[in-house]
Amino acid sequence: MGGAEKSGEYREYRIAELAEKAGITVRTLRFYRERKLIPPPRREGRVAWYNDHHLTRLHTIAALLERGHTLGGIAELLTAFDSGARDVADLLGLRSTPIPVPAWSQETPVRLTPEALADYFQGQATPENLATSLDLGYLAVDGDQLVHVSRRLLDVSRDLVDRGLPLAAV
C-alpha cells in the first residue's frame, strides 16, 4: 500500500521513510510519537503507515523548535489546535477567559458649558486652546455643551495649570 496512489495525491510512508523525508532520526520520530506530538499511524498488522499529514506535522514541529518553542509548549499548541482552536486567541486560551479591562482605560467623559470650562482653567480656555483641544479630540461639541473625554485627564490638566503651566502647553 505504501507509495503513491492513483493521482499521486496521497502518500504513505513506513517509519524510516517518514523520518528520512522529515530530516529526523527514527529515534526522534518515535520520541515524538510517544510524546503524542504526532497522531498514531495507521496499522496494518505489525506495520505502521504514516501519511502526508504526519509529514506536515513534523515540519510544523521543526519550525516551532527553530523559533525557540519547547516540546512541552509545542505539545500544548498542537493539542489546542487539534481540539478546534484556529486563531491565536483560541490557541492561547483567551476565548474562555475574559481579559479584565485595566482601570486606567475606563474613562468617564465630562460635560461642561464653555463658561464652566473657562472657570475650570482660570480663564485660559481661549478660542485658540479650545480649537486645539477640539482638533486633538480631547473636547467635542454636543449642542451648547462641551464634552471632555476623561474626568481624570481634565483634573490632571487643571492641576498642571494650577501649578503654573500654561494650558496651551498641557
Q: Give pLDDT tens digits for 131-148.
A: 888 888 888 888 899 898
- For residues 99-126, give the mean pLDDT: 79
Domain locations along the chain: 3-91, 105-169
- Where in the chain does DSSP place strands (E)? 3-4, 11-13, 42-44, 47-51, 110-112, 139-142, 145-148
**Residue 84 zone, left/alpha/beta (φ > 0; ψ -120 to 50; rest):** left
Name the one residue in this structure whose C-alpha cell is 474626568. 151
CATH topology classification for 105-169: Phenylalanyl-tRNA Synthetase; Chain B, domain 1 (3.30.56)
* Predicted pLDDT of residue 40: 94
Can you say whether the dihedral through the CA atoms of 34, 37, 43, 46 is positive or negative? negative
Dist CA 46 CA 32 (whole Å): 19
CATH number of the structural domain 3-91: 1.10.1660.10
* Long-range pairs of 35-38 with CB within 8 A, sequence gap ≥ 24: 35/71, 35/75, 36/75, 36/79, 37/61, 37/71, 37/74, 37/75, 37/78
* Predicted pLDDT of residue 25: 97
* Predicted pLDDT of residue 95: 59
* Cβ neighbours for 113, distance < 8 A, ≥ 6 positions apart: 144, 145, 146
* Cβ neighbours for 57, distance < 8 A, ≥ 6 positions apart: 37, 38, 39, 78
What would the pLDDT profile of 41-84 be if each residue is shown by its tens digit? 999 999 999 999 999 999 999 999 999 999 999 998 888 888 87
User: Does the pLDDT at position 96 exceed 80?
Assistant: no
User: Does the pLDDT at position 122 exceed 80?
Assistant: yes
Name the pLDDT band for 108 (thresholds 50, 70, 90). confident
Model confidence, pTM: 0.50
